[in-house]
């Protein structure tokens, strides 16, 4: 299924867009924008009407940026009730509700894993502090090792790819769980005296 719902980061609210509604309901963009203009006061009761100015698609007619409304779940639901209840619209309503639900579930899992990872990260940091006090690069090296093992990328690369301040915000709940386990393994191997190369090989085999 195509992406129907999006999120900027774990602290923001899931949203869909006018483009998504137009594409999946086979409704003209003009008609949807007209509904938003007519019922904007009602829609604003469910939150600020957020929008982005987007450049036109390459090769399309017209060169001016256009306003793209970002609709939260209540706003999108209300707007959908104003469309003709054709079979296509009815099916999309069901898919949209499901998409919002699944994204909220994933966000909840990610938030839980982020909190657990913060604790695990502190535990690993404490182990490095206690067992490798003379190695100023140890924490950075093992931190990067955990990320590369799970994602194939360094934290710096992930921050750039996903435009986030914290690399953890670029991960799924499953990846966060994997990193938590790897950090625990790394901490245990450090405590029994294994060096970086040995730990790297052990982590790679277990991944």
Element (H, E) at 99: helix 87-131
pLDDT on residue 1 = 46
- Per-residue pLDDT averaged across 131-157, rounded? 94
Predicted local distance difference test score (pLDDT) of residue 74: 93
The average pLDDT across 63-88 equals 89
16-17/50-54 β-pairing: unpaired
Answer with the residue of higher pLDDT: 115 or 58.
115
Kindly tell me if the per-residue pLDDT of 193 is higher than 70: yes
Note the pLDDT tens digit of each residue in 16-68.
999 999 999 999 999 999 999 999 999 999 999 998 888 766 655 556 778 89
Specify the DSSP class assigned to residue 62. -
In this prediction, residue 55 carries a pLDDT of 76
Average pLDDT in the 144-151 region? Answer: 95
70 Cβ contact list (under 8 Å, min separation 6):
15, 16, 17, 50, 51, 52
Q: Which positions ≥6 away from 167 have C-beta within 8 Å?
A: 147, 155, 156, 158, 159
The DSSP string of 167-182 is: GGGGS-HHHHHHHHHH
Query: Among residues 165, 183, 145, 131, which one has the least CA distance to residue 11?
Result: 165
Q: For the whole model, what pTM was predicted?
A: 0.55
Q: According to the model, what pLDDT value does residue 206 have?
A: 59
The span from the CA of 26 to the CA of 29, in Å, is 9
E strand spans, the chain? 16-17, 50-54, 66-71
């Amino acid at each position: 299924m195509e992406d129907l719902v999006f999120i900027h980061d774990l602290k923001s609210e899931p949203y869909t867009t006018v483009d998504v509604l137009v594409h999946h309901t086979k409704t003209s963009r003009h008609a949807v924008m007209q509904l938003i203009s007519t019922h904007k006061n009602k829609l604003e009761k469910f939150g600020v009407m957020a929008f982005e100015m987007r450049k036109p698609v390459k090769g399309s007619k017209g060169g001016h940026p256009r306003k793209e409304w970002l609709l939260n779940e209540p706003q999108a639901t209300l707007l959908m009730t104003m469309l003709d209840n054709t079979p296509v619209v009815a099916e999309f309503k069901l898919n949209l509700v499901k998409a919002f639900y699944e994204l909220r579930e994933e966000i909840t899992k990610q938030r839980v894993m982020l909190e657990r990872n913060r604790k695990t990260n502190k535990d690993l940091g404490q182990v490095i502090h206690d067992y490798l006090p003379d190695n100023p690069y140890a924490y950075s090296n093992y931190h990067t090792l955990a990320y590369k093992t799970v994602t194939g990328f360094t934290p710096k690369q992930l921050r750039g790819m996903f435009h986030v301040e914290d690399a953890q915000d670029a991960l799924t709940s499953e990846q966060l769980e994997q990193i938590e386990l790897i950090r625990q393994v790394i901490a245990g191997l450090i405590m029994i005296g294994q060096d970086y190369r040995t730990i790297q090989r052990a982590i790679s085999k277990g991944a």
